[in-house]
Amino acid sequence: MKTGTFVSCIAWGLLSFACASQPSEPPAAPEMTPPAEPPSPPAAEAPAAAEPAAAAAPAAAPRTIEVPLESKSGSKLAGKAVLTETEGGVHVVLTVEGISPGDHGAHVHETGDCSSPDGKSAGGHFNPHSKDHGLPGGDKRHLGDLGNIVIGKDGKGSLDITAPGANLKDGDTQSFVGRAIIVHAKKDDGGQPVGNAGDRLGCGVIKG
């Protein structure tokens, strides 16, 4: 009885030792949490719409000068000239009344002075290039040669013409500013040296 018990104890002890010697199962690997995705970069802002270009400055209005005419040499002339600078020269619109019907020479003279009773204070034709006198459209002409204004039976008339090469710039050698407009008693026939147009019936200073 004692021997069986002893054997049983030895067997139990060996079994216990064997169990203790068995390696324990390795711990389960921890679950891997997938790395968080990096935040998306902020969407690029759309470029601001370009501001519309500033409106171009309006072109400057062409210079215009109105010239009242005063009577000379005992005439009853009344009228005015309106001068406008253009790309091609100076556009002149001359309107006159109170003088005899027919053609009357009209010119820009060199001096802006209408103080004398006969208008001769305005000097000679404006001729900065020292050319021969001529009529509009001719190869040779003074810069101030405007041709003739035609007066009707009612004593009224007008002339609409452009003087090529002239301008209305202050101080320019080809400028009409500082000159005078003269209306004559007779027709400008194109002859030399100044067209044989006779007395000066009207005069107006071209002021800038």
> Considering 113, 118, 132, 142, which one is annotated as catalytic?
142
Q: Is 200 a catalytic residue?
A: yes
CATH domain 64-205 topology: Immunoglobulin-like (2.60.40)
Residue 74: DSSP 8-state: T
Q: Is 142 a catalytic residue?
A: yes
Q: Domain spans of the chain?
A: 64-205
Q: Which residue has the higher pLDDT, 124 or 4?
A: 124
Q: Is 129 a catalytic residue?
A: no
- Confidence at 143, pLDDT banded by 50, 70, 90: very high
Phi, psi of 34 (to 5 degrees): -60, 140
> Considering 104, 141, 179, 184, which one is annotated as catalytic?
184
> Alpha-carbon distance 5 to 107, whole Å?
159
What mean pLDDT do residues 154-182 have?
97
> Alpha-carbon distance 109 to 152, whole Å?
25
The answer, yes or no, to whether residue 21 has pLDDT greater than 90, is: no
The answer, yes or no, to whether residue 29 has pLDDT greater than 90, is: no
Whose tokens are 């071209």? That residue is 206
CA-angle at 201, arms to 199 and 202, nearest 5°: 135
The answer, yes or no, to whether residue 162 has pLDDT greater than 80, is: yes
What mean pLDDT do residues 122-134 have?
94
Residue type, 89: G
**pLDDT at residue 54 in the model:** 58
When mean pLDDT is compared across 22-31, 72-81, 152-161, 168-177, the lowest value belongs to 22-31
Three-state SS annotation for 95-143: EEECCCCEEEEEEEECCCCCCCCCCHHHCCECCCCCCCCCCCCCCCCCC
